[in-house]
Homo-oligomer: A and B are copies of this chain.
Amino acid sequence: MAESAADTGAAAGQAEGGCPAVPERLLAAATRLFADRGFERTSVQELVDAAGVTKGAMYHYFASKEDVLFAVFRRVLATQMRNLDAFAAAEGPVAERLRAAAVDVVESTVANLDDMVIYFRSLHVLSYERQDQVREERRVYQDRFRALIEEGQRERVFRSDVPADMVASQYFGAVNHLGMWYRPDGELGGSEIGGYYADLLLAGLRP
Protein backbone atom coordinates (compact mmCIF):
# COMPACT_ATOMS: atom_id res chain seq x y z
CA MET A 1 0.00 0.00 0.00
CA ALA A 2 1.24 3.49 -0.72
CA GLU A 3 2.83 5.29 2.17
CA SER A 4 0.28 7.70 3.61
CA ALA A 5 0.91 11.26 4.63
CA ALA A 6 0.71 10.03 8.21
CA ASP A 7 3.71 7.77 7.76
CA THR A 8 5.91 10.36 6.10
CA GLY A 9 4.60 13.19 8.24
CA ALA A 10 5.31 11.34 11.45
CA ALA A 11 9.01 11.91 11.04
CA ALA A 12 8.70 15.42 9.66
CA GLY A 13 6.16 16.49 12.29
CA GLN A 14 8.16 15.08 15.19
CA ALA A 15 8.42 17.68 17.91
CA GLU A 16 11.59 18.23 19.87
CA GLY A 17 11.41 16.89 23.38
CA GLY A 18 8.39 15.28 24.98
CA CYS A 19 5.44 16.19 22.79
CA PRO A 20 4.77 13.44 20.24
CA ALA A 21 4.00 14.27 16.66
CA VAL A 22 0.44 14.93 15.64
CA PRO A 23 -0.05 11.57 13.83
CA GLU A 24 1.14 9.66 16.92
CA ARG A 25 -1.21 11.62 19.14
CA LEU A 26 -4.07 10.98 16.75
CA LEU A 27 -3.35 7.26 16.68
CA ALA A 28 -3.06 7.06 20.44
CA ALA A 29 -6.36 8.90 20.90
CA ALA A 30 -7.98 6.80 18.18
CA THR A 31 -6.86 3.58 19.85
CA ARG A 32 -8.34 4.55 23.21
CA LEU A 33 -11.61 5.88 21.82
CA PHE A 34 -12.18 3.18 19.19
CA ALA A 35 -11.55 0.47 21.79
CA ASP A 36 -13.70 2.09 24.49
CA ARG A 37 -16.61 3.40 22.48
CA GLY A 38 -16.34 1.90 19.03
CA PHE A 39 -15.31 3.40 15.73
CA GLU A 40 -18.74 4.68 14.71
CA ARG A 41 -19.56 6.07 18.15
CA THR A 42 -16.45 8.20 18.06
CA SER A 43 -16.86 11.40 16.05
CA VAL A 44 -13.98 13.06 14.25
CA GLN A 45 -14.48 16.04 16.55
CA GLU A 46 -14.06 13.87 19.66
CA LEU A 47 -11.01 12.22 18.17
CA VAL A 48 -9.19 15.44 17.39
CA ASP A 49 -10.23 16.94 20.73
CA ALA A 50 -8.61 14.00 22.47
CA ALA A 51 -5.51 14.41 20.34
CA GLY A 52 -5.33 18.15 20.99
CA VAL A 53 -5.56 19.24 17.35
CA THR A 54 -8.27 20.23 14.90
CA LYS A 55 -10.00 18.39 12.08
CA GLY A 56 -7.93 20.18 9.47
CA ALA A 57 -4.78 18.82 11.05
CA MET A 58 -6.15 15.30 11.06
CA TYR A 59 -7.10 15.51 7.40
CA HIS A 60 -3.63 16.80 6.62
CA TYR A 61 -2.18 13.44 7.64
CA PHE A 62 -5.09 11.06 7.00
CA ALA A 63 -7.28 10.86 3.93
CA SER A 64 -10.39 9.97 5.94
CA LYS A 65 -11.68 8.77 9.28
CA GLU A 66 -11.48 5.23 7.91
CA ASP A 67 -7.84 5.88 7.11
CA VAL A 68 -7.16 6.46 10.80
CA LEU A 69 -8.79 3.14 11.58
CA PHE A 70 -6.76 1.46 8.88
CA ALA A 71 -3.59 2.84 10.44
CA VAL A 72 -4.51 0.93 13.61
CA PHE A 73 -4.95 -2.20 11.50
CA ARG A 74 -1.56 -1.66 9.88
CA ARG A 75 -0.01 -1.48 13.31
CA VAL A 76 -1.67 -4.75 14.32
CA LEU A 77 -0.44 -6.42 11.15
CA ALA A 78 3.09 -5.06 11.68
CA THR A 79 3.13 -6.47 15.21
CA GLN A 80 2.07 -9.90 14.04
CA MET A 81 4.61 -9.88 11.22
CA ARG A 82 7.35 -9.30 13.78
CA ASN A 83 5.96 -12.16 15.84
CA LEU A 84 5.83 -14.33 12.76
CA ASP A 85 9.51 -13.69 12.15
CA ALA A 86 10.17 -14.89 15.68
CA PHE A 87 8.21 -18.10 14.98
CA ALA A 88 10.15 -18.76 11.81
CA ALA A 89 13.52 -18.14 13.45
CA ALA A 90 12.95 -20.38 16.44
CA GLU A 91 14.80 -23.68 16.80
CA GLY A 92 14.43 -26.77 18.94
CA PRO A 93 11.91 -29.61 19.31
CA VAL A 94 8.66 -28.84 17.59
CA ALA A 95 6.59 -29.26 20.78
CA GLU A 96 8.73 -26.66 22.53
CA ARG A 97 8.44 -24.30 19.61
CA LEU A 98 4.68 -24.71 19.42
CA ARG A 99 4.35 -24.12 23.14
CA ALA A 100 6.46 -20.97 22.95
CA ALA A 101 4.50 -19.71 19.96
CA ALA A 102 1.19 -20.44 21.70
CA VAL A 103 2.24 -18.50 24.81
CA ASP A 104 3.57 -15.67 22.69
CA VAL A 105 0.34 -15.32 20.72
CA VAL A 106 -1.54 -14.84 23.98
CA GLU A 107 1.01 -12.48 25.49
CA SER A 108 1.12 -10.39 22.35
CA THR A 109 -2.66 -10.20 22.22
CA VAL A 110 -2.90 -9.17 25.86
CA ALA A 111 -0.14 -6.59 25.42
CA ASN A 112 -2.06 -5.02 22.56
CA LEU A 113 -5.58 -5.60 23.77
CA ASP A 114 -7.06 -2.30 22.58
CA ASP A 115 -5.71 -2.98 19.11
CA MET A 116 -7.19 -6.47 19.10
CA VAL A 117 -10.57 -5.23 20.29
CA ILE A 118 -10.60 -2.67 17.52
CA TYR A 119 -9.39 -5.22 15.01
CA PHE A 120 -12.14 -7.77 15.57
CA ARG A 121 -14.97 -5.36 16.23
CA SER A 122 -14.32 -3.00 13.34
CA LEU A 123 -13.14 -5.20 10.49
CA HIS A 124 -16.53 -4.78 8.78
CA VAL A 125 -16.05 -1.01 8.71
CA LEU A 126 -13.18 -1.32 6.25
CA SER A 127 -13.73 -1.44 2.53
CA TYR A 128 -13.95 -4.95 1.05
CA GLU A 129 -10.53 -4.51 -0.50
CA ARG A 130 -8.95 -3.64 2.79
CA GLN A 131 -10.84 -6.40 4.59
CA ASP A 132 -9.50 -8.97 2.16
CA GLN A 133 -6.00 -7.61 2.57
CA VAL A 134 -6.19 -7.66 6.37
CA ARG A 135 -7.66 -11.15 6.49
CA GLU A 136 -4.98 -12.38 4.11
CA GLU A 137 -2.18 -11.05 6.29
CA ARG A 138 -3.76 -12.41 9.45
CA ARG A 139 -4.07 -15.70 7.63
CA VAL A 140 -0.32 -15.82 7.04
CA TYR A 141 0.20 -15.48 10.78
CA GLN A 142 -2.21 -18.24 11.64
CA ASP A 143 -0.89 -20.44 8.82
CA ARG A 144 2.62 -20.26 10.20
CA PHE A 145 1.26 -21.47 13.50
CA ARG A 146 -0.60 -24.26 11.73
CA ALA A 147 2.60 -25.28 9.97
CA LEU A 148 4.17 -25.96 13.36
CA ILE A 149 1.28 -28.27 14.21
CA GLU A 150 1.66 -30.06 10.88
CA GLU A 151 5.38 -30.47 11.47
CA GLY A 152 4.63 -32.09 14.79
CA GLN A 153 2.05 -34.34 13.19
CA ARG A 154 4.58 -35.47 10.55
CA GLU A 155 7.08 -36.25 13.30
CA ARG A 156 4.32 -38.13 15.16
CA VAL A 157 4.84 -35.91 18.17
CA PHE A 158 1.22 -34.72 17.78
CA ARG A 159 -1.91 -36.70 16.99
CA SER A 160 -2.92 -36.67 13.32
CA ASP A 161 -6.61 -37.45 13.51
CA VAL A 162 -7.54 -33.79 13.86
CA PRO A 163 -6.74 -31.42 10.96
CA ALA A 164 -4.06 -28.93 11.91
CA ASP A 165 -6.23 -26.18 10.47
CA MET A 166 -8.98 -27.02 12.94
CA VAL A 167 -6.57 -26.96 15.84
CA ALA A 168 -5.14 -23.61 14.76
CA SER A 169 -8.65 -22.16 14.27
CA GLN A 170 -9.72 -23.34 17.69
CA TYR A 171 -6.65 -21.91 19.38
CA PHE A 172 -6.67 -18.60 17.53
CA GLY A 173 -10.38 -18.27 18.15
CA ALA A 174 -9.82 -18.59 21.86
CA VAL A 175 -6.99 -16.07 21.78
CA ASN A 176 -8.75 -13.59 19.52
CA HIS A 177 -11.70 -13.64 21.90
CA LEU A 178 -9.60 -12.47 24.83
CA GLY A 179 -10.56 -8.90 24.01
CA MET A 180 -14.13 -9.69 25.01
CA TRP A 181 -13.35 -10.61 28.60
CA TYR A 182 -9.72 -10.19 29.61
CA ARG A 183 -9.04 -7.33 32.00
CA PRO A 184 -5.50 -6.13 32.78
CA ASP A 185 -6.47 -5.73 36.44
CA GLY A 186 -7.90 -9.25 36.61
CA GLU A 187 -6.50 -12.14 38.63
CA LEU A 188 -4.40 -13.60 35.85
CA GLY A 189 -1.81 -11.98 33.63
CA GLY A 190 -1.12 -12.70 30.01
CA SER A 191 1.71 -15.07 30.77
CA GLU A 192 -0.39 -17.20 33.10
CA ILE A 193 -3.28 -17.38 30.68
CA GLY A 194 -0.79 -18.11 27.91
CA GLY A 195 0.66 -20.91 29.99
CA TYR A 196 -2.73 -22.51 30.57
CA TYR A 197 -3.87 -22.07 26.97
CA ALA A 198 -0.61 -23.50 25.61
CA ASP A 199 -0.75 -26.39 28.04
CA LEU A 200 -4.31 -27.27 27.04
CA LEU A 201 -3.29 -27.06 23.37
CA LEU A 202 -0.30 -29.36 23.77
CA ALA A 203 -2.27 -31.77 25.98
CA GLY A 204 -5.00 -31.94 23.38
CA LEU A 205 -2.42 -32.80 20.73
CA ARG A 206 -0.83 -35.73 22.56
CA PRO A 207 -0.90 -38.81 20.36
Contacts and interface: CB of A to CB of B under 8 A. Distances in A.
| Chain A interface, DSSP helix/strand/loop, else mixed | helix
Contacts of A181: 169, 173
A92 to B, nearest CB: 22
Contact of A120 (B171, B180, B201): B180
A193 interface: yes
Contacts of A176: 173, 177, 180
Interface string A39-52: 01100000000000
A200 B196 contact: no
B177 A38 contact: no
A101 interface: no
Contacts of A204: 200-201, 203-204
28 contacts: A38-B124, A38-B125, A40-B40, A40-B41, A41-B124, A41-B125, A121-B121, A121-B124, A159-B203, A162-B196, A162-B199, A162-B200, A166-B196, A166-B200, A167-B196, A169-B181, A170-B196, A172-B177, A173-B174, A173-B175, A173-B176, A173-B180, A174-B177, A176-B177, A203-B204, A203-B206, A204-B204, A206-B206
